[in-house]
Structure 1
Amino acid sequence: MDERWADVAYTAGWELVQRAPEGAGRAAFQRLADRSWRTHDGGTRGLERNLRRLLGPGATDVRLRALSRAGMRSYMRYYYEMFRLPAMDERYVLGRTRSTGIEVLEKHVASGRGVVAALPHMGNWDHAGAWMTLRGTPLTTVAQRLRPESLFQRFTAYRESLGMEVLPLTGGGDTVATLARRLRDGGLVCLLADRDINGTGLEVDFFGERARMPSGPAALALNTGAALMPVSLWYDGPYWNIRIHDEVPVAEGATRAARIQDTTQELARVFEGAIARHPEDWHMLQPVFSRDHDEDRARRLEAEGTAALRALGHRDG
């Protein structure tokens, strides 16, 4: 799908899902999930690659496939609810949300101490952001820039319509400095923190292997004095569940780098426990583990080398 058609498809999706009856919409997205799972497409294979580490070496293929089917259904539920969320009224969102630990987070913000809420890709993080703003706590988050630019702007406008401040990960000025200002002003910053997107993450132990996670949440907490609070999200029937975990203190250490490394490792440990309790709601279809990053990089380099040789052959011919 080219960039123009991607924008058209997402626009149509937003409009159609908000107008269609909820039961029909949910059923349609579940069918999409089951189709992806049956055909064992790239997304399903990526999810299973990660879930296999979670299940351990003794897991059977039957167990893995059952979990990946539940995972793809949960993933497509996220997309359905993301498209549908603007049509959900305040009472619906608040009434179907169950939470623990939110009072501690809100107490920090009320006292003027900033909070870095670090989330894995679980459940519905757009809903969680909307829920926070409906409770009266504005927040700032960061979004990966998408192509085409019109699609990125559409996603940004959507999230801002829910009450969030959205900063671009790249190409939008000094995002890190803006986040630090928000935290020093006693604000809430929410960051997805279980995947290294830009290649600058730290290696941590995660489900018995080395994995790469961003250093940003720990670094921001260290630099600003904000509370670093992991958040996990999952589904329970019609309900959204949100757990604000205990603060992860910034680790002591001889150097700044060591403190960020150890704090990120502790954050990964909390994520590990949360994901293990609700593995079907971990929407991680992209590489997380270092071995997978390295293999993907090797495949890309090989493909680029092959393409270069073919181009050279055509030119010489």
Structure 2
Amino acid sequence: MWRYLLIWVASLTLGRLPVWLLYPLCDVAGEIAYWLRPGLRRKVLDNLHHVLGPQASPIQLQRTARAVFRNVARYYADLVHMPYLDVYSFYCQHLTHHGFYEHFLPALSQGKGVILLSGHLGNPELAVQGLLAHGIKVVALTEPLHPPQLSQLVDRLRSRKGHTFLPVSVAGVRAAIKTLRQGGVVALMGDRDIQGPRARLPFLGTEASMPIGPIEVALRTGAIVLPVFSFRRGHGLEVFVHPPMEITRGGSLEEDVLANTLRFLQILETYVRRDPGQWIVLEAIWDTEERKDNYGQG
């Protein structure tokens, strides 16, 4: 329950501060967390070992892992600041996008529904707020948190500006499918095995348990899949809208889901490698044994 109270109090107090003041505080908090949470540190270092490869030095791994912790702290700053965000000012002054007019709007105009498929890069929850400047609302499915009150609080904060954030559940999936069939936009994450259907697929050179639900939803609804990724740039974000995925159908539903999920993971890999310090995943993606001393950590 302490996490609930911490986020609730922060949303009423620290969240009112401008991000130019919040972010430096978060950078300090992230550095402290890096040294005080050895379990999380080992998981992040192991993930980065797969991203950066065996040629990465311990110093490079540690430097990148510290960036991950700082960016996680900035994510929480964005979360508690969300109710006070000026969407139009954010869109005009702090959001740079590529592919919005070339890929997103043409896909939306087809009326088939659009799945924005992303990963935990930068802050996709903040990036999607920019769509509100165009009057476009999104249904986003999120990781269920415990206790349930915490999940409800976090999703309320995420939804304050007009989008709908729902935990992954039967009801949440039904809401997403209904939105797509009405020609709307759904935001999903494809880089963590949280809840729902999954499969072991190669990712960054090693098999990992990855979510296959987003592609299954696309195949069942006929929605267009747009890979979308964000990166922090100073106090703002740079967003890349990838061209629509060509969803292939040639085998059974299971075969098609696996083949198209693998194609998304290959796209995701290229973006994760662009700036691994912005891949804010604190859970171990690969079920390898924790390396105790391989990264220069005692």
Shared fold, TM over 0.5 = yes
C-alpha separation in 2, matches of 1:159 and 1:262: 32
Gaps of 5+ in 1: 297-317
In the other structure, the counterpart of 1:145 is 144
Matches within 5 A, 1:192-203: 192-198=189-195, 200-203=197-200
Matches within 5 A, 1:48-63: 48-63=45-60
> Contact 1:184 / 1:224 at 8 angstroms: preserved in 2?
yes
Q: Which has the higher contact order (CA 8 A, sep 6+)?
A: 2
Number of residue-to-residue matches in the alignment = 288
After TM superposition, give the deviation of residue 109 of structure 1 in Å. Answer: 1.7
Deviation beyond 6 Å, 4+ runs, structure 1: none
CA RMSD of aligned residues (A): 1.8
C-alpha separation in 1, matches of 2:66 and 2:283: 16
User: Does the residue aligned with 1:112 lie in a helix, a strand or coil?
Assistant: coil
TM-score after normalising by structure 1 = 0.85
C-alpha separation in 2, matches of 1:20 and 1:163: 21
C-alpha separation in 2, matches of 1:193 and 1:162: 24
TM-score after normalising by structure 2 = 0.90
Q: Which moved more, 1:105-114 or 1:266-275?
A: 105-114
C-alpha separation in 1, matches of 2:19 and 2:278: 21
> Contact 1:251 / 1:260 at 8 angstroms: preserved in 2?
no
Match of 1:269 among 266, 271, 280: 266
After TM superposition, give the deviation of residue 50 of structure 1 in Å. Answer: 0.4
Q: Which structure carries more helix by proportion?
A: 1
Relative distance call for 1:156 and 1:85 in structure 2 (3 A) is closer
Deviations 1:263-286 (A, max 9, x none): 000000000001101211100111
Deviations 1:160-194 (A, max 9, x none): 21211222213xx4433332221111110100110
Matches within 5 A, 1:207-218: 207-218=204-215
After TM superposition, give the deviation of residue 57 of structure 1 in Å. Answer: 1.1
> Contact 1:250 / 1:260 at 8 angstroms: preserved in 2?
no
- The answer to whether the aligner puts 1:101 opposite 2:95 as a matched pair is no
> Contact 2:79 / 2:158 at 8 angstroms: preserved in 1?
no
User: Does the residue aligned with 1:195 lie in a helix, a strand or coil?
Assistant: coil
In the other structure, the counterpart of 2:109 is 110
User: Does the residue aligned with 2:13 lie in a helix, a strand or coil?
Assistant: helix
Percentage identity across paired residues of the two chains: 25
> Contact 2:88 / 2:133 at 8 angstroms: preserved in 1?
no
In the other structure, the counterpart of 2:66 is 69
User: Does the residue aligned with 1:163 lie in a helix, a strand or coil?
Assistant: coil
C-alpha separation in 1, matches of 2:175 and 2:23: 38
Task: In structure 2, give the amino acid aligned to 1:159.
Answer: R
C-alpha separation in 1, matches of 2:48 and 2:190: 18
- The answer to whether the aligner puts 1:183 opposite 2:175 as a matched pair is no
In the other structure, the counterpart of 2:153 is 154
C-alpha separation in 2, matches of 1:23 and 1:114: 36
Task: In structure 2, give the amino acid aligned to 1:56.
Answer: G
C-alpha separation in 2, matches of 1:175 and 1:24: 35
Q: Which moved more, 1:202-211 or 1:88-97?
A: 88-97
